[in-house]
Amino acid sequence: MASQAGFLTMRGVEDMLLPMLRNCKNMSHLKRVHSQMVKFSLAQSNFLVTKMVDICVQIGEIQYASLLFRQVLEPNIFLCNAIIRAYTNKQMYLLTINVYKQMLKQPQGEEPIFPDKFTYPFVLRSCGGLLNVCLGKQVHGHVCKYGLRSNRVIENSMLDMYVKCDDMREAHKLFDEMGERDVISWNSLISGHIKLGHLRRARSLFDEMPNKNIVSWTAMISGYTKLGCYGDALDVFRRMQMVGVEPDWISLVAVLPACAQLGALEVGKWIHFYAEKKGFLRKTCVCNALIEMYAKCGSLNEAWQLFDCISERDVISWSTMIGALANHGRANEAIELFEEMIRARVEPNEITFVGLLSACGHAGLVNEGLRYFDSMRNNHTIEPGIEHYGCLVDLLGRTGCPERALKLIKSMPMAPDSAIWGSLLSSCRIYRNLEIAIVAMEHLLELEPDDTGNYVLLANIYADLGKWDIVSKMRKFIRSKSMNKTPGCSSIEANNSVQEFVSGDDSKPFTKDLYWILNLIALQQSETNDQIDAITTLEDIR
């Protein structure tokens, strides 16, 4: 009876402390309750410690949660699951695995803790986070051992683990063996193929998928955009709307780069209107994507207006607008905006300085460019990358300093790429510096031996210098190697559709009609020119 009374007393204390735990808002409150637990010898209570671990996670005190867990000598499954969930959500994957191992290896004489359906989703997620497929396969074996293989949440967690570890063979094997696949299963497999660049396989699965949700559509749009298949991205975006799936802000951010690259301004404007209607412009990332789209489509004023309307600009907002101004030749405004960014105490990043140095290059501001380049390391602890060196080489080349540009290239901490040598070669043509042009060409021959453009550029330098015998030899060399120049490509947006035209491609069904119209326009232009010449002649006679 005495022991039963004691048990009831302890249970009564737990019931008393529970409301106090639920009302904890900070560490001070939590420690007060913890002291009461210690006072009443309840520091080993799995029930109360589990509640405390959950509260620690809510108020961001994961270290205190870890201490609470470690001081419990015999944790039960509920406490173990609570700390495993906490560690995994904080991306402390190794600690998750350590707790899982502790569950499986209880000291001799103690009752083992068997993992359950709430344990494995987080353990598998940790295996995926660690990119440890070997460990994941062992956990997969444990799932089968404990009879939890048919649990759909666990199956999807295993599938996601294999996808994150890039083991698509095991992912497909598991997918084929699943008794019931849901939209999460399909999306995981599709995302895995997109991540590895297997767009055809991803599209095949996407078309086969019985029930698509917004995540499925966005994954395909994002995959096409990232791999440069911009027309396909827009096509999927339109199909999504045709089947009645409304875009969310994530899908808009995914498709806007495709609009920017294709110059699909009308589609971009529709997205802007839709985003404003749905309240998505409150998200800075949507505004940033729209600014970039407007800038690349040539609508800089619209980009400016949108930039001014952003209430909380982040470093991407500033960097995008600075880059847009630089690309449109408004270098001084780009530099002014950078200085305003510094005054607003927004720390620039690597992309910010690419736009800023590009602006200096367009304006020929050598001293400013060199100063900003040095400030990267001195004032902002940013180590210049190859893109920044490329901007500086371009700046020096544009301003007639190819010797300084070559000296800079030789001092670079990384190997210069073809873009840097190509920039130097271009500047040599402007200033007819044959000696440095030959140096640049020697490196380009190693990096891009089959690029016709480099040979043509060097031939033009010789032509500018009147060395026609060498020009003739180079042209013969190009023909003897059967080098093909990359065909020109352009696109036009009409009736909310983007048509792409490649030089020499006559495969489009309307090609004949197109050439007929072009010939008609050329004929009309010729007649107009003849009329102007006739009028000019009459004026001369008078």
State the number of CA atoms in the 13 A half-sphere of 169 facing the CB: 2
pLDDT of residue 48: 87
Distance of CA 189 to the CA centre of its chain: 20
- On the question of pLDDT at 83 being above 60, the answer is yes
Collect all residues with Cβ–Cβ distance below 8 Å to 48 and sequence separation of at least 6. Answer: 14, 17, 18, 21, 37, 42
At 204, give phi and psi (nearest 5°).
Answer: -60, -45
pLDDT of residue 8: 44
- On the question of pLDDT at 432 being above 50, the answer is yes
Structure tokens at 308: 């001014």
The whole-angstrom separation of Cα 467 and Cα 477 is 16
- On the question of pLDDT at 205 being above 90, the answer is yes
Angle between helices 300-309 and 315-327 (to 10 degrees): 160
- On the question of pLDDT at 217 being above 60, the answer is yes
Q: What is the mean pLDDT of residues 187-216?
A: 95
pLDDT of residue 392: 93
Q: Tokens 């808009």 belong to which residue? A: 252
The 10s digit of each residue's pLDDT in 457-480 is: 667 776 766 767 666 766 766 666
Which residue, 57, 115, 114, 59, is CA-closest to 87?
57
pLDDT of residue 38: 82
Among the residue ranges 49-53, 168-172, 260-264, 536-540, the one predicted with the least confidence is 536-540
Share of the chain above pLDDT 90, in %: 58
pLDDT of residue 531: 56
Q: How confident is the model at residue 370 (pLDDT cuts 50, 70, 90)?
A: very high
This prediction's pTM = 0.78
pLDDT of residue 464: 66
The 10s digit of each residue's pLDDT in 391-419 is: 999 999 888 888 899 999 999 999 988 88
The gap between the terminal CA atoms of the chain, to the nearest Å, is: 132
Q: What is the mean pLDDT of residues 93-122?
A: 85
- On the question of pLDDT at 167 being above 70, the answer is yes
**Highest mean pLDDT pick, 145-149, 459-463, 532-536:** 145-149
pLDDT of residue 500: 62
pLDDT of residue 501: 61
Note whether 293 and 319 are within 8 A (CB).
Answer: no
Q: How confident is the model at residue 283 (pLDDT cuts 50, 70, 90)?
A: very high
Q: Where are the alpha helices (DSSP H) in 386-433?
A: 386-398, 402-410, 418-431
Q: How confident is the model at residue 85 (pLDDT cuts 50, 70, 90)?
A: very high
Residue type, 448: E
pLDDT of residue 4: 43
- On the question of pLDDT at 279 being above 80, the answer is yes
Q: Tokens 């050329």 belong to which residue? A: 522
Share of the chain above pLDDT 70, in %: 83
Average pLDDT of the chain to the nearest whole number: 85
Collect all residues with Cβ–Cβ distance below 8 Å to 424 and sequence separation of at least 6. Answer: 393, 397, 402, 405, 406, 409, 436, 440
The whole-angstrom separation of Cα 136 and Cα 144 is 13
Q: How confident is the model at residue 179 (pLDDT cuts 50, 70, 90)?
A: confident
pLDDT of residue 321: 96
Among the residue ranges 56-60, 110-114, 318-322, 530-534, the one predicted with the least confidence is 530-534
Q: How confident is the model at residue 440 (pLDDT cuts 50, 70, 90)?
A: confident
The whole-angstrom separation of Cα 159 and Cα 162 is 5
Q: What is the mean pLDDT of residues 307-315?
A: 93
pLDDT of residue 204: 95
Count of helix runs (H) and strand runs (E) in the chain: 29, 2
Domains of the chain, earliest start first: 74-179 (no CATH), 385-488 (1.25.40.10)
- On the question of pLDDT at 334 being above 90, the answer is yes
- On the question of pLDDT at 165 being above 60, the answer is yes
At 39, give phi and psi (nearest 5°).
Answer: -60, -40
Which residue, 242, 203, 196, is CA-closest to 221?
203
Q: What is the mean pLDDT of residues 134-149?
A: 93
Q: Which residue has the higher pLDDT, 101 or 432?
A: 101
Beta carbons within 10 angstroms of residue 460's beta carbon:
14
pLDDT of residue 534: 52
- On the question of pLDDT at 502 being above 60, the answer is no
Residue type, 470: I
- On the question of pLDDT at 10 being above 80, the answer is no
- On the question of pLDDT at 324 being above 90, the answer is yes
State the number of CA atoms in the 13 A half-sphere of 374 facing the CB: 5
Question: DSSP assignment of 469-526, as one string?
Answer: HHHHHHHHHHHHTT--PPPPEEEEEETTEEEEEETT---STTHHHHHHHHHHHHHHHH
Helix or strand (DSSP H, E) at 132: none
- On the question of pLDDT at 433 being above 80, the answer is no
Distance of CA 395 to the CA centre of its chain: 28
- Report DSSP state, residue 245: P
Q: Tokens 């995302």 belong to which residue? A: 191
Structure tokens at 477: 């060399």
Reduced to 3 states (helix: H, G, I; strand: E, B; else coil), residue 102 is helix
DSSP strands (E only) in 76-203:
none
pLDDT of residue 114: 87
